Structure 1
């Protein structure tokens, strides 16, 4: 099966690159700007300007969840956490508050469903590992490509899933795993992933390869550039971003097949037992029912696939 190369991913780089202009991809202005007339605006503005979408899902959100009634970390504000750097295609320009990038747009769309205007949203920096540790949180919810797992549910709450995850292996052209099509061919490789992620678990549990742990995906990319590792495992949109923007000679080896009966999903992280958990879940469910999540996927994430490793 042919591999996906950086050449075929350049259109995605234009839309997802954190350092690149996004207006040409149908992106909306940031939360402080005026609403876009594009059909694929960011959630920070499209939900606020689309009365029909708000009306269609209003009944799905309990009155107790709306601003003015629901208790939040700061009265009248919705505090949302994410890590830094906040990179594409999940965020843009390392600025979660601009409403650009898939997770930023989803966060503002959730806020809108709960009656919070863009100006009511406050962002705080939360390292990935800290977000899923037990203990009181300094945010109402966190969005940071955190997969919902039973183990993590023992320490924190999750909303329903807002993105279905596919784990993907990337490398550089001419590497020992470039062109491989079988998972068995990767067992002798050294693969890197971010600490605490399901990508890291996939290296050992699904591939059976040696793993290298990094504090961030950016550090894993640096290691791959230096040929200290043979490849990186990350979710599919992040893999597209790495090969199209961060690596001059990056290639996608392939995506790992689904394990189990249900897909891995990213969910918003909340404090264990948070009264906001059913509210954020109701908002995500309404966004899915309205088709808004599908629109945001089309706007911010690549629609291209990758070969499946056998």
Structure 2
């Protein structure tokens, strides 16, 4: 009788262990699947209204690019984890697989296109010269002999170099963050900076001592998402964007973030 009882207990223990193992495997599979569905997005959160932190409200990164990324990736079945870094670090981070994609108001150019893949354009902008009122800088030729600032590794930095070649005595300075550049202009350490229309508009709204003009000769500056070379996500991103455009979601987000009040 005792032998039978011990045998029954042993068999039950084996069955319970087996069930536990299967449950553990199922839980592990579920966790792995969920982990695979989280994509890390690289951005530089100093570029309102595309991506920025409103310190008066919280330390959360918000903006047009953030909402757009979440809307696109939701359609594709992914969650988004946003990672803030310097703008100049975004492409290297993508190449090193530290992020899955980049959305940061980035403009494709020949140099970047050699090492990453870009989505279709999701927004087009114009470049402004932002300066203090009374600076006397009202057109490109007025930059001669002035200190001109731009963000490090940005398309604006490249444009600044072009202007420096064209006009004598232009001194170039670069900073990692846009707010630093704006502060330098307000303090008179930099005469003018190059930035995009919608970004400049937000600073002009809050700083009545600043003014601007549109740079005379420039190409439209398109904004695109960046992906590792050969990534299948690039095509999927474009398809999801087309769907969001048809649904009116993209226009809804533009109205939310790009209207300066």
* Bin of the TM-score, shorter chain as denominator length: 0.7 to 0.9
Name the SS of the counterpart of 1:147 in structure 2: coil
Cα distance, 1:227 vs. partner?
Answer: 0.5
Cα distance, 1:276 vs. partner?
Answer: 1.4
Which residue does the alignment assign to 1:69?
A: none
Which residue does the alignment assign to 1:108?
A: 70
Which residue does the alignment assign to 2:210?
A: 250
Residue 222 (str. 1) matches residue 179 (str. 2):
no
Cα distance, 1:83 vs. partner?
Answer: 2.0
CA distance in 2, matches of 1:266, 1:141: 14
Preserved CA contact (<8 Å) 1:160 1:285: no
| Larger-gyration structure (1/2) | 2
Name the SS of the counterpart of 2:36 in structure 1: coil
Which residue does the alignment assign to 1:145?
A: 105
Which residue does the alignment assign to 1:127?
A: 86
CA distance in 2, matches of 1:234, 1:112: 31
Aligned residue pairs: how many?
222
Which residue does the alignment assign to 1:191?
A: 148
Using the size of structure 2 for normalisation, the TM-score is 0.75
The alignment's C-alpha RMSD in Å is 2.7
Residue 97 to residue 175, structure 1, CA distance change in 2 (3 Å): same
- Residue ranges of structure 2 left out of the alignment (5+ in a row): 1-32
Aligned pairs for 1:1-310 within 5 A: 74-84=35-45, 86-91=46-51, 92-93=53-54, 100-116=62-78, 120-133=79-92, 135-177=95-137, 180=138, 182-206=139-163, 208=166, 209-245=170-206, 247-252=207-212, 254-257=213-216, 259-260=218-219, 263-302=220-259
Write out per-residue CA displacement over residues 72-126 of structure 1, whole angstroms, 9 at most, x where no aligned residue: 9941212212124x4521235267966x42111111121122133xxx3212223
Residue 232 to residue 284, structure 1, CA distance change in 2 (3 Å): same
CA distance in 2, matches of 1:144, 1:110: 15
Preserved CA contact (<8 Å) 1:175 1:230: yes
CA distance in 2, matches of 1:278, 1:106: 16
CA distance in 1, matches of 2:222, 2:80: 24
Which residue does the alignment assign to 1:29?
A: none
Preserved CA contact (<8 Å) 1:168 1:234: yes
Using the size of structure 1 for normalisation, the TM-score is 0.64
CA distance in 2, matches of 1:214, 1:301: 24
